[in-house]
Amino acid sequence: MLEGWDGERLSRKMEDEAAEMRLALGPSSRGIVDGMRSFHATWWTQYTVLVHRSMKNSRSAIFTTLNLVKAGAIGLVCGLLWFQMPYTEAFVFDRSSYYFFTMTFWVFDAMFTAYMAFPLERSIIFKERASGAYRLSAYFLAKTTSEAPARLALPSLYMVISYWLSGLNNNTGIFLASTLCSLLSVLAGESIGLFLGAAVLDLERGMVIMTVAALGLMVVGGFFVREIPGWMEWMGYVSPFRYSYNASVQLVFDRPVPCDGSGVLATCGGDNGGEASVADVLGFLGVQGSAGFNAGMLLVIFLVMRVAAFYALRRQKAEERMA
């Protein structure tokens, strides 16, 4: 997941690009080099220059040929593993497991890649901020918006390949909706990674916290453990795995499932005939809430954790200046 990030190389590259940014900000930016604290360029100018720099870095770290091949290859492997599943009782669990694997892989990828963003750029951020080069809000918004296209392109490629090979549901509308849920889960996972990266800038300590948090949120996602201890239930409410899984599974089971005698669903009673209702199937899988509600919660996690990441980074800035 992290093969595209080289901390030392990225730091040297950002040092060089900092000089380019000063030139782009205009002649008045001399005061920045001299250590003046006032901002000589408008917020919009700062934002556009920083977006340009961040997009160059994201293209070299995320949107690479190697990552495109990886996304396509994993999509092909998954599509062949779940190849053209019949829409019957025996394949109910297989359909749900496809979605949980998909959400787990891509949310993990987004979390850990996003976590590395601020710790790797720590010295550059504080050096440029101390010189008054730009406002923290301009840097943060540029950083978090410029990487979104590259980050979403990879899971989109995966979904196009794996979804149609696996035969989950031949309805194009279902494909688009489930892909949207996958992308929302990626953005929500990215926000969590950004928050932890901003809150814990020490790379080694933060990686331990990131690993524990990511695995904890995955386990309470509703696929592995149904009966969560009461004192841990709160984790389920902030788990992007839970909401993306619930939304996608509801979308793909859009009609009754024919019974085939496999005995997977109790409502079929082992009979080779009849149908299990959508409600019975969703109850068997432990799915909760409507697809719209779960997608909305992913959006809430994305926004709330993104704002929390900004304030965590601003607090770190204040501590650095006091040190």
3-state secondary structure the chain: CCCCCCHHHHHHHHHHHHHHHHHHCCHHHHHHHCCCCCCCCCHHHHHHHHHHHHHHHHHHHCCCHHHHHHHHHHHHHHHHHCCCCCCCHHHHHHHHHHHHHHHHHHHHHHHHHHHCHHHHCHHHHHHHHHCCCCCHHHHHHHHHHHCHHHHHHHHHHHHHHHHHHHCCCCCHHHHHHHHHHHHHHHHHHHHHHHHHHHHCCCHHHHHHHHHHHHHHHHHCCCCCCCCCCHHHHHHHCCCHHHHHHHHHHHHHCCCCEECCCCCCCHHHCCCCCCEECHHHHHHHHCCCCCHHHHHHHHHHHHHHHHHHHHHHHHHHHHHHHHC
Average pLDDT over residues 69-86: 95
Q: For residue 321, what pLDDT is reported?
A: 43
pLDDT at 10 over 50: no
Query: Does the structure show a pLDDT above 50 at 32?
Result: no
Q: What is the pLDDT of residue 282?
A: 92
- The confidence band for 63, taking pLDDT boundaries of 50, 70 and 90, is confident
Averaged pLDDT, 40-60 = 78
pTM of the model: 0.81
Contact at 8 Å (CB) between 110 and 187? yes
Cα 126 to Cα 313: distance, rounded to the nearest angstrom: 10
Mean pLDDT throughout 12-38?
A: 46
Tell me what pLDDT residue 40 has.
61
Q: How confident is the model at residue 292 (pLDDT cuts 50, 70, 90)?
A: very high
pLDDT in tens, 33-46: 333 344 567 888 88
pLDDT for residue 3: 44
What is the predicted pLDDT for the residue at 42?
83
Does the pLDDT value for residue 9 go beyond 70?
no
Confidence of residue 317 (pLDDT cuts 50, 70, 90): low
The pLDDT-based confidence of 7 (bands split at 50, 70, 90) is very low
> For the chain, which residues make up each domain, given as ranges?
46-322
pLDDT category at 16 given cuts 50, 70, 90 is low
What are 156's two structure tokens? 């989109």
pLDDT > 90? residue 99: yes
- Predicted confidence at residue 181, as pLDDT, reads 93
Percent of residues, the chain, with pLDDT higher than 90: 44
Average pLDDT over residues 156-184: 94
pLDDT value of residue 30: 42
- Statement: residue 284 has pLDDT above 50: yes
Q: State the average pLDDT for the chain.
A: 82
Evaluate if residue 20 carries a pLDDT over 80: no
Tens-digit pLDDT profile for residues 232-264: 778 888 899 999 999 999 999 999 999 988 888
Dist. CA 175–CA 162, nearest whole Å = 11
Q: What is the largest CA-CA distance in the chain?
A: 81
User: What pLDDT is attached to residue 119?
Assistant: 79
Model confidence at 25: pLDDT above 60: no
